[in-house]
A and B are shown apart, each in its own frame.
Chain A
Amino acid sequence: MRGKSHPGFDRLGTNGISGSHADNESPKEPFALSLSKGGRFRHGAVFSRFDLIAGLWWLPRALMLGALAFAIFGPLCNLLLWAVAEKWYFPHALPLEYGFSFWGRVFSARGNAWEALGTSVMVAGLTVLASLALAIPAGYALARLKLPFRALILLAFLIPQAFPNLPVYVNVARLFYAIGLNGTVAGVVIVHVTHGLVYAVWIATAAFAAIDRELEEAARAAGASALRAFRDVSLPLAMPGLMASAIFVFLESLDEFTGSFFVGAPDVNTLPLLLYTAGAGGNYQIASISALLLLVPSIAFMLVLEKFLRADVLARIGQ
């Protein structure tokens, strides 16, 4: 492996940066061009009545859109190119050879990719379940009960995010080591839950608060117990919000690195850890392929929950 990655080392030092610089030009130009064509075509008739400056209204917007598209798709294109590049070094703007030999290496028995993917999905799934199990009662209580320090309690969930990750997780790792949680899936899940709980609880609180209390009272008047009214009315109505929070927590967990590194590695090997190892070793192909692999569960999970994520529902979350 080392022998083969030797030419790659050259690429890494200088070409990696200039390579992306070369990329900078190419996708932008055709994009701006096509937009400018469209703009001119549509406004040909208007020119006769308005002056030239008014006719150029589309230009700043087209540039903005182009820049935005580049910001979103530029890195992804680079990632895709790296994933299929066999040979790519300075000063070439595009890979010299394309192929899938690195894919074979990633998915080989020694590549650990399948195992890491499985671990990542399992950890993320358990994190979602644990977060929702905590966030549903917590969110309902925060939304419905008259709690004295409601705002403070809500703010408290932000604490794990508010401090720098590194010192927190180093200490968590020390603590977990003492009680035997280090290097276990449970330990990694706990760390991810503390991290994701702020999304889960905040969104769940908003989701429950948005439900008219009279809807629950109507169920009580119809003869439902408090628990039954919650199950039949509050929970289904809060479901879109809860699903949105599940997506946030899942995605957070899936690409969480620092906590997984200190608490999980090397026994619990998630995809981001694999990606880090590959990236740190200059294996851009392997890192890119791992990154693409990381997209699979994210997109799959979002597609599964997509039916809950209608725009009107998302708009209600903030209320």
Chain B
Amino acid sequence: MDEAFLSVDKLRVAYGPQPVLDELSLGVARGEFVALLGASGCGKTTLLRSIAGFIRPQAGQIRVQGRDVTAFAPDARGMAFVFQSYALWPHMTVAQNIGYALKLRRTPHAKIHQRVEEIAAMLGLAGLEQRKPAALSGGQRQRVALGRALAADPEILLLDEPLSNLDARIRLAVRHEISALQKRLGITAVHVTHYREEAMIMADRIVILDQGRIAQAGTPHELYNRPASAFVAAFMGAENAIALEGDHADGRLTLHSPHAPVPCVTEILAGACNGHYQARFRSDAARLVDAGERTDGGLRLRGLVSQVSYPGGLWRHAIQFGEHTVIVDAHEARIPGETVDLLVPRDRLFVFPSAADAPRGDTRH
């Protein structure tokens, strides 16, 4: 196996008997921006803090360029860390905060000053150098935290939800700034977040964590269009879920539902069997058609429009099938109470064996 620049090998961290990270392995290439995405409690911050050296793992290794740093103290790892709370030192000025790492390396005073000016100019903090963090706005503090991390030219930058304390509008701008900066400086970055969109915009590769394991890792495009599990599909925005029965024959899977007027036939690559399946799709993936209209291919379901709203752009419909309710966005509004058919094209329908059945599906289409 090719040794990655930063590699995590079978890392195990547990608080008490319950493992937070369960034999987790991950490689990050030099200059790559990896986002760790997951719900709170999935272990993403624990993984980041283990890489930084704040948490001592029970088992496993962390290597940088092939060198085992697992036993190293945080200050011996040459990584920079940006905290969610920013953790700026309140008794130091902006300049002192940014220049601290250089001061520790006994950099000459003039050189520190020059570097601080440089960083401040780069991050739009010029003129604020003599202020204390308490006299800065949230966005400015975030920049100081970033500047402090970047001042000593770290090879690895670890970001722990650094944008979650910012206003929504500033956050949108800072996302692009950070990833542009990371590309320009060629730093290897690991970013923890629980916002899908943030991860998709900033990262080269997204690693989705679920209960201390990697659920799926891949480019934003891969994860969005080819989720490997129902969990990943749901995390990637395919919130609508439908339970279906599947018959497996001749390399084809035929899906039935009491709400489906015609069965849906899909091609199966591996691991399929007869039993329960779950289909997932995004609200903008489905189309509403009249009950009489003829279509072919895809999953067609007949339901009742129970609610219509207009969040902007498209009309949002809540469609009911027995006890299931799905959300479908359409260009034209339907009338509540109307019976409609809903059509999900095969390439936008994600089908997975239900948790109780079979191995994890490698289903496509």
Q: List the interface of chain A (C-beta within 8 A of B).
A: 212, 214-215, 217-226, 228, 232-233, 236-237
| Candidates A212, A222, A225; contact of B148 at CB < 8 Å | A222
With a CB–CB cut-off of 8 A, which chain B residues contact A218?
Answer: 81, 83, 87-89, 148
| Candidates A215, A226, A228, A232; contact of B87 at CB < 8 Å | A215
* Chain A interface, >50% SS class: helix
* Stretch from B14-22, B71-79, B298-306, B322-330 contacting the other chain: B71-79
B105 close to chain A: CB less than 8 A: yes
Q: Can you give 18 contacting A-B residue pairs, CB < 8 Å?
A: A212-B87, A214-B83, A214-B85, A217-B52, A217-B87, A218-B81, A218-B87, A218-B148, A220-B75, A221-B81, A222-B75, A222-B80, A222-B152, A224-B100, A225-B73, A232-B89, A237-B89, A237-B91
Q: List the interface of chain B (C-beta within 8 A of A).
A: 52-54, 73-75, 78-81, 83, 85, 87-91, 100-101, 104-105, 148-149, 152
Q: How far is the CB of A210 from chain B (nearest CB, A)?
A: 12
Contact B83 A222 (CB under 8 A): no
Complex Cα distance A221/B154, Å? 10
With a CB–CB cut-off of 8 A, which chain B residues contact A222?
Answer: 75, 80, 100-101, 104, 148, 152
With a CB–CB cut-off of 8 A, which chain A residues contact B85?
Answer: 212, 214
Complex Cα distance A218/B100, Å? 10
With a CB–CB cut-off of 8 A, which chain B residues contact A212?
Answer: 85, 87
Q: How far is the CB of B157 from chain A (nearest CB, A)?
A: 10
With a CB–CB cut-off of 8 A, which chain B residues contact A228?
Answer: 104
Q: How far is the CB of B344 from chain A (nearest CB, A)?
A: 46
Complex Cα distance A220/B83, Å? 13
List 10 A-B pairs, minimum CB-CB distance, nearest first. Answer: A221-B81, A214-B87, A222-B101, A218-B87, A220-B74, A223-B104, A223-B75, A236-B91, A220-B75, A214-B83
Contact B90 A221 (CB under 8 A): no
Complex Cα distance A316/B73, Å? 31
* Known pairs A218-B87, A218-B148, A223-B101 / 19 extra A-B pairs, C-beta < 8 Å: A212-B87, A215-B89, A217-B83, A218-B83, A220-B73, A220-B74, A221-B74, A221-B81, A222-B80, A222-B101, A222-B148, A223-B78, A224-B75, A225-B75, A232-B89, A233-B89, A236-B91, A237-B89, A237-B90
